[in-house]
């Protein structure tokens, strides 16, 4: 095992949390006050049980209602299925032979425009992430970009910073990302355009800063790295136009139907369209409803639906490119194998949140150590919105990898500690710093997925990224202070 490897980092952060549950008593925030509770220590079998609870709890995503609105948390089982289906999809693409042509043609065209490709990739992933929050769907495109970047002789860390980092930056500076701005609306009772101009400026500055940092930074020398989703030398005289066209249509449809328009804008058009389609009948017979079965409403499609439709797309491409059944089965097996390491790391990175759920910490206002730490910050450091939200978000961000779960945990506390502009500023601060922590926390799902996929050690990532993190942190705080006085 490499020193400071990703697995060791996840183990260390998990052990730290376990120790905290033994030495920090729980408390509850109610009626504007922190009420002390007892200890709820995390034991060895609690940790081991979290591995199995990960899959049982992960089947449920809408677990709490606020004012009649179901709040959707990360569905971990659908996330795992989504990752595995992406692996299958790419291995099927390799079998077509046309995908090899697409990769090689793309690389040949970009050989003299490497820097432009780096910039374009960063801008694309940052903006789409900030506008939609569809991280899993964006990850569908990541293997292709990774393959092209590696073939253009960029290092693994530069490749990781060009693909995964912009997704995290985009969510951190969310403009209309449904799983950040939408959560702020439904849980924190904000509206989508609160501090909108400030968020746009912050997003632009951080995107420029990130791009410049990647272009001028010297990345560590790479060891050999096998691209898990690309098979070299599989090229045939087949056109890749059907492949690109069908994938683009899939991406657009999934973007529309996975994006929760109600959370962000309060728009129910897609939901109403779904109800109209599903209740429509032919001669009194609900043909469409029976044909489609229990499909999720438009605007609420999850990783389950994405996985199912991506598998159907893989089958369709197999027919179009005359892939035999045995080759399809082989592609399925290799796709699952290629993504297995990534999915296992995601499970390990989510053990703390799974334990918290089984202890009823996250989804209801129950006693927990997070309130105790927040109370200590409140009494001993600051009750001002920026320092209080900064310190609490760092603590939450290190251990809890679901922004919706964190929002459900903190909404009552923030709403009673702050009012008016101070409240809005506290939530903006919390969002930004929580997102910043996700760039380095070994519990951050998509960071862990990227590190595992590219086999980048956690130590190398920290050594590469710390200057950017520090710069963003300082500039971010200065911008927040500016927002507070305007």
What does the pLDDT profile of the chain (486 residues) look like in tens digits? Answer: 455 589 999 999 999 999 998 999 888 777 767 777 788 888 877 777 776 666 665 444 444 444 444 445 556 788 899 999 999 999 999 999 899 999 999 999 999 999 999 999 999 999 999 999 999 999 999 999 999 999 999 999 999 999 999 999 999 999 999 999 999 998 899 999 999 999 999 999 999 999 999 999 876 666 556 788 898 866 677 899 999 999 999 999 999 999 999 989 989 999 899 888 888 877 777 777 777 778 888 998 988 899 999 999 999 999 999 999 999 999 999 999 999 999 999 988 988 887 777 654 444 456 788 888 888 888 888 788 999 999 999 999 999 888 988 888 888 889 888 999 999 999 999 999 999 999 999 999 999 999 999 999 999 999 999 999 999 999 999 999 999 887
pLDDT of residue 43: 81
Note whether 385 and 425 are within 8 A (CB): yes
pLDDT at 473: 96
Closest listed residue to residue 6, CA positions, set 478, 376, 445:
445
Q: Contacts by 471-476 with C-beta closer than 8 Å and gap 24+? A: 471/209, 471/213, 472/206, 472/209, 472/436, 473/433, 473/436, 475/205, 475/206, 475/209, 476/202, 476/206, 476/432, 476/433, 476/436
- What distances in angstroms separate CA 384 from CA 377, 425, 432, 484, one per listed residue? 10, 10, 16, 11
Separation of alpha carbons 458 and 440, rounded Å: 9
Q: What is the pLDDT of residue 64?
A: 46
Tell me what pLDDT residue 225 has.
65
Give the distance, in angstroms, between the CA of residue 12 and the centroid of all CA atoms in the same chain: 22
- State the pLDDT at residue 285: 78
Q: Rounded distance, CA 29 to CA 411, Å?
A: 10
CA gap 403, 365 in Å, rounded: 16
CA proximity to 255, closest of 138, 126, 115: 138
The whole-angstrom separation of Cα 119 and Cα 116 is 5
Q: pTM for the complete prediction?
A: 0.92
Helix (H) or strand (E) holding 29: strand 27-30
What are the backbone dihedrals phi and psi of residue 258, each rounded to the nearest 5 degrees, phi first?
-90, -20
CA gyration radius for the chain? 23
| Cα dist from 195 to 260, 281, 340, 456, whole Å | 21, 46, 41, 36
The SS3 assignment for 282 reads strand
pLDDT at 221: 64
pLDDT at 68: 44
């Amino acid at each position: 095992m490499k020193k400071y490897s990703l697995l060791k980092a996840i183990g260390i952060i998990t052990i730290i949390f376990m120790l905290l549950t033994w030495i920090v008593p729980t408390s509850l925030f109610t009626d504007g006050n922190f009420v002390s509770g007892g200890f709820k220590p995390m034991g060895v079998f609690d940790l081991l049980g979290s591995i199995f609870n990960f899959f049982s709890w992960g089947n449920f995503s809408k677990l709490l209602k606020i004012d009649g609105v179901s709040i959707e948390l990360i569905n971990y089982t659908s996330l795992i299925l989504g990752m595995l289906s992406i692996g299958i999809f790419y291995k099927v693409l390799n079998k077509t032979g046309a995908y090899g042509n697409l990769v090689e043609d793309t690389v040949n065209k970009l050989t003299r425009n490497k820097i432009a490709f780096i910039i374009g990739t960063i801008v694309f992933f940052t903006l789409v992430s900030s506008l939609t929050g569809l991280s899993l769907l964006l990850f569908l495109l990541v293997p292709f970009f990774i393959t092209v970047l590696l073939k253009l002789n960029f290092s693994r860390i530069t490749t990781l910073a060009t693909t995964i980092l912009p997704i995290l930056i985009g969510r951190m500076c969310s403009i209309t990302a449904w799983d950040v701005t939408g959560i702020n609306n439904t849980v924190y009772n904000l509206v989508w355009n609160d501090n909108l101009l400030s968020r746009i400026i912050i997003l632009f500055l951080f995107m420029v800063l990130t791009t410049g940092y990647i272009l001028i930074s010297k990345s560590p020398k790479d060891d050999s790295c096998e691209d898990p989703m690309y098979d070299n030398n599989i090229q045939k005289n087949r056109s890749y136009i059907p492949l690109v066209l069908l994938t683009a249509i899939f991406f657009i449809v999934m973007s529309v139907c996975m994006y929760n328009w109600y959370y962000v804008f309060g728009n129910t058009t897609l939901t109403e369209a779904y109800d109209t389609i599903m209740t429509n009948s032919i001669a009194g017979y609900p043909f469409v409803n029976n044909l489609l079965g229990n499909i999720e409403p438009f605007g609420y499609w999850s990783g389950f639906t994405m996985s199912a439709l991506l598998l159907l797309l893989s089958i369709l491409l197999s027919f179009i490119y005359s892939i035999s059944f045995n080759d399809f089965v082989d592609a399925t097996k290799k796709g699952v194998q290629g993504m297995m390491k990534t999915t296992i790391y995601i499970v390990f990175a989510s053990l703390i949140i799974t334990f918290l759920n089984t202890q009823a910490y996250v989804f209801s206002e129950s006693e927990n150590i997070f309130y105790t730490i927040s109370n200590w910050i409140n009494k001993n450091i600051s009750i001002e919105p920026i320092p209080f939200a900064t310190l609490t978000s760092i603590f939450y961000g290190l251990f809890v990898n679901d922004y919706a779960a964190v929002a459900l945990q903190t909404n009552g506390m923030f709403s009673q500690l702050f009012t008016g502009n101070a409240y809005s500023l506290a939530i903006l601060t919390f969002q930004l710093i929580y997102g910043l922590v996700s760039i380095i926390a070994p519990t951050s799902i998509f960071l862990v997925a990227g590190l595992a996929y590219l086999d980048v050690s956690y130590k190398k990532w920290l050594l590469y990224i710390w200057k950017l993190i520090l710069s963003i942190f300082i500039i971010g705080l200065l911008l927040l202070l500016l927002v507070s006085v305007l």
